[in-house]
Amino acid sequence: SQKIEQNSEALNIQEGKTATLTCNYTNYSPAYLQWYRQDPGRGPVFLLLIRENEKEKRKERLKVTFDTTLKQSLFHITASQPADSATYLCALETNFGNEKLTFGTGTRLTIIP
Amino acid sequence: DSGVTQTPKHLITATGQRVTLRCSPRSGDLSVYWYQQSLDQGLQFLIQYYNGEERAKGNILERFSAQQFPDLHSELNLSSLELGDSALYFCASSVGAGGYTFGSGTRLTVV
């Protein structure tokens, strides 16, 4: 069956360090992989999208890699700040006739001052 | 403000009742998606509409239905409500292949 797994439910990182979150998937052939940030009680906010033929994407302090052979994406936040504390969700989008976005269960990231 | 508007923000209702959740997508976005988020299930895709037509269906119960109107706003109807339907319901919109813009959600509590 199709599955999206994010490395851990919770991750604590010291301020200033790089936070690395992992998203693994099985039985998918995603056209796109996306990362979202969600704060408690709020809707997810889109951060980055990476296509199946792209290896890496950057946006300010964020970096996403996508390895379709390993079926894995890594999400990095460099020079982390307490304001980066949130739940981060990866999501896969296939283009088999629809644009349904399927989400992982998320990793709750806490940046410790 | 994300540009996707959901009303109401909170809803408390009794078991067996019916409610309607409303979503106005971001200007120019033709696709509307509905998601349910509960503590133990994460974000679950319910249904997608594109320019008034149903495009994709997820794990949506038969007691739930949705529609998208000519002005592109969408409504999610939940009937014969059960305690387990208590959750956050999100609407999202997109203009095509790319990131989705989510609304702030409707928190439904069934008592």
Q: What is the pLDDT of residues A25-77, one digit of tens each?
A: 988 888 789 999 999 999 999 999 999 899 999 999 999 999 989 999 999 99
Nearest alpha carbon to residue B65 among B80, B84, B83, B87: B80
Look at residue A7 in the predicted model and tell me its pLDDT.
78
Mean pLDDT in residue range B62-76: 97
> What does the alpha-carbon distance between residue A58 and residue B50 come to, in Å, rounded to a whole number?
30
Tell me, yes or no, if A62 comes closer than 8 A to chain B by beta carbon.
no
Tell me, yes or no, if B102 comes closer than 8 A to chain A by beta carbon.
yes
Tell me, yes or no, if B20 comes closer than 8 A to chain A by beta carbon.
no
Look at residue B28 in the predicted model and tell me its pLDDT.
87
Task: Kindly report, residue by residue over B98-107, the tens digit of the pLDDT.
Answer: 789 999 999 9
Q: How confident is the model at residue A95 (pLDDT cuts 50, 70, 90)?
A: low
Look at residue A101 in the predicted model and tell me its pLDDT.
84
State the residue for tokens 């998203």: A23
Average model confidence (pLDDT) across chain A: 91
Q: Does pLDDT of A96 surpass 80?
A: no
Look at residue A93 in the predicted model and tell me its pLDDT.
83
CA–CA–CA angle A38, A44, A45 (5° rounding) = 95
Q: Which residues of A14-31 are buried (b: 16+ CB within 10 A; e: fewer)?
A: eeeeebebbbbbeebebe
Q: Does pLDDT of A97 surpass 90?
A: no
- Distance from the Cα of A7 to chain B's closest Cα (Å) equals 15
Q: Strand, coil or helix: what is B101?
A: strand
Residues in chain B within 8 Å Cβ distance of A32: 97
Q: Does pLDDT of B97 surpass 90?
A: no
Closest-CA residue of chain B to A9: B42
Tell me, yes or no, if A28 comes closer than 8 A to chain B by beta carbon.
no
> What does the alpha-carbon distance between residue A35 and residue A87 come to, in Å, rounded to a whole number?
11
Look at residue B34 in the predicted model and tell me its pLDDT.
97
List the single best residue of A4, A23, A42 to mutate versus B (max B Cβ within 10 A).
Answer: A42
Q: Are the beta carbons of A44 and B90 separated by less than 8 Å?
A: yes
